[in-house]
Amino acid sequence: MTGDGVGRGEPSNSFQDDNEISSVAGAPRSVMAMSDWASDVADAESRTTTSRLMGRRDPKHDDTKLRLRSDINEEPVPGRGGNRFFSWWSHLVSRVSKSASMLLNQHSPNLQDILDSSEGPSAVVAQPISGAPSPVARIGEGSEQELFALRREVTLLKKKIDQLEDQEAKRRNISAEQIAPCGADLDAIPAVLPVQMLKPDQISRYSRQLLLNDGFGVEGQKTLLSTSFLVVGAGGIGSTLLLYLAASGVGHITVVDFDSVEVTNLHRQIIHKDRDAAKTIGQLGKNKAESAKEAILRLNPTMSCTALSVMITAENASELVCRHDVVVDACDNPLTRYLLNDACILGDKPLVSGSAMGTEGQLTVYNYRAPCRNGFVNAKRNACYRCLYPKPNLDEGSKSCSDNGVLGPVPGLIGVLQALEAIKVATGLGNVMSDRLLMYDSLECSFMTIKKPSARDSCAICSSQATIKSMLDSQKSLEGTRGPGACSTSKLAHLAEELNVSCEEYNKIRRRGDKHVLLDVR
The region of weakest confidence among 169-173, 238-242, 320-324, 327-331 is 169-173
Do 188 and 73 have their domain in common? Answer: no
Output b/e per residue, 135-151; b: 16+ Cβ within 10 A: ebbeebbeebbeebeee
Listed residues 58, 93, 108: the one ending a domain: 108
- 423 and 304 in a common domain: yes
Examine the pLDDT at 32 and tell me if it is beyond 50.
Answer: no
Q: Is residue 117 domain-resident?
A: no
The total of structural domains in the chain comes to 2
pLDDT digits (tens, 9 = 90+) for 158-188: 877 877 766 665 554 433 333 344 445 677 8
Task: Collapse the DSSP code of 357 into the 3-class scheme (helix H, G, I; strand E, B; otherwise coil) and give the result.
Answer: strand
Tell me what the mean pLDDT of segment 471-482 comes to.
83
Provide mean pLDDT across the span 58-62: 47
Q: What is the predicted pLDDT for the residue at 350?
A: 96
Rg (CA), the chain: 43
Structural domain includes residue 142 = no
Please report whether residue 373 resides in a domain. Answer: yes
Distance of CA 343 to the CA centre of its chain: 20
CATH label of the domain that carries residue 421: 3.40.50.720
- What local confidence, expressed as pLDDT, does residue 55 receive? 46
Partners of 365 in beta bridges: 352
pLDDT of residue 488: 43
Q: What's the whole-number average pLDDT of the chain?
A: 74
pLDDT digits (tens, 9 = 90+) for 72-127: 444 444 444 445 544 555 555 555 555 545 544 544 444 444 444 444 444 444 44
- Regarding whether 430 and 300 lie in a shared domain, the answer is yes
Tell how strand 351-357 and strand 228-232 pair up. unpaired
Considering the domain architecture, whether residues 306 and 426 belong to the same structural domain is answered as yes
Asked if pLDDT for residue 147 goes beyond 60, the answer is: yes
Please state the rounded mean pLDDT for residues 392-414. 76
Domain boundary among the residues 64, 82, 108 is at: 108
Check whether residue 188 and residue 53 sit in a common domain.
no
Q: Which residues make Cβ contacts (< 8 Å) with residue 318, sequence separation at least 6?
A: 172, 174, 343, 346, 347, 471
Q: Domain range holding 84?
A: 4-108
Model confidence, pTM? 0.59
Exposure of 487 in the CB half-sphere (CA atoms within 13 A): 5
In terms of Cβ atoms closer than 10 Å to its own Cβ (0-12, 13-18, 19+), residue 292 is: buried
Name the packing angle between helices 34-53 and 81-107 (round to 10°): 170
Cβ neighbours, 10 Å, residue 191: 8
- φ, ψ of residue 354 to 5 degrees: the values are -140, 150
Q: Is residue 234 located within the same domain as residue 351?
A: yes
What pLDDT is attached to residue 403? 66
- 509: pLDDT confidence band, cut at 50, 70 and 90? confident
Q: State whether 295 and 415 are in the same domain.
A: yes
Q: Is 162 within a domain?
A: no
Residue 205 maps to a domain:
no
* Spatial CB neighbours of 379, under 8 Å, sequence gap ≥ 6: 369
d(C-alpha 479, C-alpha 474), whole Å: 9
Residues 99 and 184 in one domain: no
**Looking at the structure, do residues 62 and 187 belong to the same domain, yes or no?**
no
Residues 181 and 40 in one domain: no
- Please indicate, yes or no, if residue 501 is contained in any of the structural domains: no
- Indicate if 180 and 103 belong to the same structural domain: no
Q: What is the pLDDT of residue 122?
A: 44
Question: Residues 103, 238: one domain?
Answer: no
Residue 263 lies in a domain: yes
In a domain, 156, yes or no: no
Q: What is the pLDDT of residues 209-242, one digit of tens each?
A: 999 887 789 999 999 999 999 999 999 999 999 9
- Please say which residue of 55, 86, 108 terminates a domain: 108
